[in-house]
Structure 1
Amino acid sequence: MKIQNKFPKFNKDKHNELLSQGWILIKEPKNIITSIIFSIPLMIILGLISWSIINIFSPINLNILQINHGSFSITINPIYILIVFIFIYIHEFIHLICIPNFLTSNNTFLGLTWFGGYAYTEEIINKNLYIKICFMPFLLISVFGVLALGLLGGLTPIIKFLCIMNAIASSVDFLNIILISTQVPNKSKIVMNGNSSYYKKII
């Protein structure tokens, strides 16, 4: 595993090599901004799912908003910003540990970027594992985490906020799941090249 602050770049030579070997380019957004825009409906859906699970145990109190006579202000404790960034890395670390042999792989990366962070691998993985890697942070934090903390009475306001933010942040992961599920046949392998993904059916 390597740690770096820039997302791996698209390699034209690798692209041509993959195509010559029978890999098929997956149609997907080519940058994070476009991915976020396409993911907005998923942000709403996933946020509402997490919100609904939290409300089973404890109503959400929006006390971060101070509303007075038709106007409002937002009070944010600076420590919350640090906690949010820690949670971003927890989210990415969950992705990372789902990648086989991530510690010894020279093609797997954990990065710090302007949008927080990323986990990325150029190892060849199968379709089902790819979907699992995308799905796990939402499942572990915003579903199982909420259920466990709800049963234990540990859903504090900041934890509620972070679980909902994690669900919203998982929207790009779910967009990837949709793209892979609709374009890649079962029993296929997937490999990354920068922001581009390719698949090849297992023979």
Structure 2
Amino acid sequence: MKLIKKIPPENKQTTMFLNDQAWIRLKEPKSVSAAILWSMPISILLMLSGAAWCYYLYPPFQELLSGEQGFSMEITIGIEIVYYLLGMFLCLVIHELIHAAFIPKVWKSDKTYWGFNGLFGFVFTEEVLSKKRMVVISLMPLLILSFAIPLLLAGAGLLNGYLVFLSVLNAGGACVDVLNVILILSQVPKGGDLVANGYATFYKNTGRKA
């Protein structure tokens, strides 16, 4: 896995080769900006789902939303905000590493890349992956960071307001991942494979089982 500054553009020669090999272009947004715009309604739904999940796991959150203790907000600019920002950055890094962890042989792959594009992180691979594997890679950061981890922390009595915030923020940030899953499930046939060429994704029904 290599570090790069941004996802490379589509290689037209590779597209021609894939077309010759009967690969079909996935109908999807043409850029990250377009994907974020398309996925905004999904982001809202995911944040509401994450908040609902934490509502049942963290009693102080229930009291806050019910208004039993009233509501007040105080913003203090100091060293604490640095820790909060570092926590958000760490959450972003972990989110992308979870994506990478489910890519087969990721550490040995010379076709897998990671990096940061502005405020957003990414993991990008040109490896051929099965439909099932792509769905798993896309959904794991959402399921682990926004649902499994809060459950474990609540059970251990370690869940707090800031971790709830990170959990809900991560859920909202997984909107493009969920959009990708929707596009894959609605277009790629069972047993299909996928491969990326820059921002373009291609699929082919190869009958793969794993």
- TM-score of the aligned structures, taking structure 2 as reference length: 0.88
What percentage of residue pairs aligned between the two structures are identical? Answer: 36
Distance (Å, rounded) in 2 between the aligned partners of 1:57 and 1:143: 10
Is contact 1:22-1:200 (8 Å) kept? yes
**1:20-169 to 2 correspondence within 5 Å?**
20-58=20-58, 59-60=60-61, 61=64, 74-75=75-76, 77-169=81-173
Any stretches of 5+ residues in structure 2 without a counterpart? 66-70
State the alpha-carbon separation in 1 of the partners of residues 76 and 195 from structure 2.
Answer: 44
Q: Residue 86 of structure 1: CA displacement?
A: 1.1
Is 1:30–1:195's contact at 8 Å kept on the other side of the alignment? yes
Query: 1:152: how far off?
Result: 1.1
Contact persistence 1:66–1:75 (CA under 8 A): no
Which segments of structure 1 move beyond 6 Å, counting only runs of 4 or more? none
The verdict on how the C-alpha distance between 1:74 and 1:183 changes in structure 2, with shifts beyond 3 A counting, is: farther
Unaligned runs of 5+ in 1: 68-72
Alignment length, in residue pairs?
196
Q: Deviations over 1:119-151 (max 9, x none)?
A: 110000000000000000001110101111111
Give runs of aligned pairs for residues 166-177 of structure 1, distance below 5 A.
166-177=170-181
- The one-letter code matched in structure 2 to 1:50 is G
Q: CA deviation at 1:57?
A: 2.1
Q: Which amino acid aligns with 2:98?
A: I
Query: Could you tell me which amino acid in structure 2 is paired with residue 196 of structure 1?
Result: A
Report which stretch shifted further, 37-46 or 130-139: 37-46
